[in-house]
Amino acid sequence: MSDAVVVEGLVKRFGEFTALDGVDLTVAEGTVLGLLGPNGAGKTTVVRILSTLLRPDGGRAEVTGLDVVAQAAQVRGVIGLTGQYAAVDEYLTGEENLEMVGRLYRLSGKEARSRAGQLLERFDLTDAARRPAKTYSGGMRRRLDIAASLIARPRVLFLDEPTTGLDPRSRLGMWEFIADLVSDGTTILLTTQYLEEADRLADRMVVIDRGKVIARGTADQLKAQVGGERLELTVGSVEGLTRAAELLRPLALDDPRRDEQTRRLTLPVTGGAATLAEALRLLEGSGVELLDVGLRRPDLDDVFLTLTGHAADGAADEAAENAETTPAEATR
């Protein structure tokens, strides 16, 4: 299997600031690579260089064997890009948006119309096709944006945070569309802050932080690298969370992770059932109301926290802010 994307020693500076500091990665043809990292890690910068929107200061990158600097125009002919922020013309209808993009890719009027029709159908937008995009919900816009990036049937698709800001139902729908594209043979490089998304869609992952690759492998390899088990408990109150964290601290290999909203405490531990029993003994008579307790294998969130020192929660906050139910979708 050959590589559809090859990135070697990629460097990008913005003035004094080094945004990419020697990034290496490959994406095998017909597979999905998840590019993960906290906010500001350099994910979008990689995508912009690969899609010829930005020139690197060092290293090189190829897409389907074409150099992104020397053969930029040809690269544009084989890729599709969906940006982090949907690039849809508000005043055009969904159908007009897609036809316009088709014409930009030099399809004939007839081809552009027929391709737009297929994509509107595939992305569940046929009913909304004749409405201006400004009446669309966030989820519908995202779908329209991805449909636009597929007009020219790209062999390689870059998806920069395709589901950030989508509600859970639209996110599931988007995952299905992405899986369909892969089964059609499209190669995908996907950036995301949702680790569940990467776990579900990506064959391999590359984790970057501050412009450098800090880990790579399959989800299973990354989880194995973190090791141990996680003791997870849910308590009745935020005070209980603080108290439980204090009491259980001696059992934890590293700082416990606390989530006040769900009142869940997660501790990296070893020792299996014996550790669980010890935890219960430590909490006995403490007044902490224990609603749920259990042991589990590390998940990708734990991997991310261990590698970068912070949880991948940036997107979650943003999603809450952007959470949208526009009148259009609500009344549909």
Ligand X SMILES: Nc1ncnc2c1ncn2[C@@H]1O[C@H](COP(=O)(O)OP(=O)(O)O)[C@@H](O)[C@H]1O
Residue nearest to Mg ion (CB): 44
Q: Which does 42 bind (CB under 5 to 8 A by kind): ligand X, Mg ion, none?
A: ligand X
Q: In whole angstroms, what is the distance from residue 75 CA to residue 177 CA?
A: 24
Based on the shown chain and the rule CB under 6 A, indicate whether residue 252 belongs to the binding site for ligand X: no
Based on the shown chain and the rule CB under 6 A, indicate whether residue 45 belongs to the binding site for ligand X: yes
Based on the shown chain and the rule CB under 6 A, indicate whether residue 18 belongs to the binding site for ligand X: no
Stretch near ligand X under the rule CB under 6 A, chosen from 33-41, 93-101, 130-138, 246-254: 33-41
Q: Which does 19 bind (CB under 5 to 8 A by kind): ligand X, Mg ion, none?
A: ligand X
Buried b (16+ CB within 10 A) or exposed e, 187-222: bbbbbbbbbebbbebbebbbbbbebebebbeebeeb
Looking at beta carbons only, is 44 or 187 nearer to Mg ion?
A: 44
Q: In whole angstroms, what is the distance from residue 234 CA to residue 244 CA?
A: 10
Residue type, 258: R
Q: In whole angstroms, what is the distance from residue 69 CA to residue 52 CA?
A: 7
Q: Which residues contact Mg ion by CB under 5 A? A: 43-44, 84
Looking at beta carbons only, is 37 or 94 nearer to ligand X?
A: 37
In the bound complex, what is the minimum distance in angstroms from residue 208's beta carbon to ligand X? 7
In the bound complex, what is the minimum distance in angstroms from residue 250's beta carbon to ligand X? 36
Based on the shown chain and the rule CB under 6 A, indicate whether residue 170 belongs to the binding site for ligand X: no
In the bound complex, what is the minimum distance in angstroms from residue 5's beta carbon to ligand X? 17
Q: In whole angstroms, what is the distance from residue 230 CA to residue 265 CA?
A: 10
Half-sphere exposure for 313 (CA within 13 Å, toward CB): 10
Q: Which does 93 bind (CB under 5 to 8 A by kind): ligand X, Mg ion, none?
A: none
In the bound complex, what is the minimum distance in angstroms from residue 42's beta carbon to ligand X? 4
Stretch near ligand X under the rule CB under 6 A, chosen from 34-42, 197-205, 250-258, 286-294: 34-42
In the bound complex, what is the minimum distance in angstroms from residue 49's beta carbon to Mg ion? 13
CA–chain centroid gap for 89, Å, is 24
In the bound complex, what is the minimum distance in angstroms from residue 191's beta carbon to ligand X? 7
Q: Which does 164 bind (CB under 5 to 8 A by kind): Mg ion, ligand X, none?
A: none
Based on the shown chain and the rule CB under 6 A, indicate whether residue 308 belongs to the binding site for ligand X: no
Edge-to-edge order in the sheet of strand 3-14: 17-28, 3-14, 58-63, 66-67
In the bound complex, what is the minimum distance in angstroms from residue 45's beta carbon to ligand X? 3
Those residues whose C-beta lies under 8 Å from the C-beta of residue 136, and which sit 6 or more positions away, are 88, 94, 128, 144, 326, 328, 329
Q: Which of 5, 23, 41, 195: binder of ligand X (CB under 6 A)?
A: 41
Half-sphere exposure for 184 (CA within 13 Å, toward CB): 14
Q: Which of 31, 44, 64, 170: binder of ligand X (CB under 6 A)?
A: 44
Residue with tokens 């020693």: 9
Stretch near ligand X under the rule CB under 6 A, chosen from 14-22, 61-69, 141-149, 281-289: 14-22
Q: Which does 37 bind (CB under 5 to 8 A by kind): ligand X, Mg ion, none?
A: ligand X
Based on the shown chain and the rule CB under 6 A, indicate whether residue 37 belongs to the binding site for ligand X: yes
Count of CB atoms situated within 10 Å of the CB of 267: 24
Looking at beta carbons only, is 233 or 312 nearer to ligand X?
A: 312
Helices of type H across the chain: 43-50, 72-78, 94-104, 109-122, 138-150, 168-183, 195-201, 219-226, 238-248, 272-283, 300-308, 314-322, 327-330
DSSP line for 142-181:
HHHHHHHHHTT--SEEEEESTTTT--HHHHHHHHHHHHHH
Based on the shown chain and the rule CB under 6 A, indicate whether residue 85 belongs to the binding site for ligand X: no
Count Cβ atoms within 10 A of the Cβ of residue 9 and give its class: 0-12 exposed, 13-18 middle, 19 or more buried: middle
The residues that touch ligand X, with contacts defined as CB under 6 A, are: 14, 17, 19, 37, 39-45
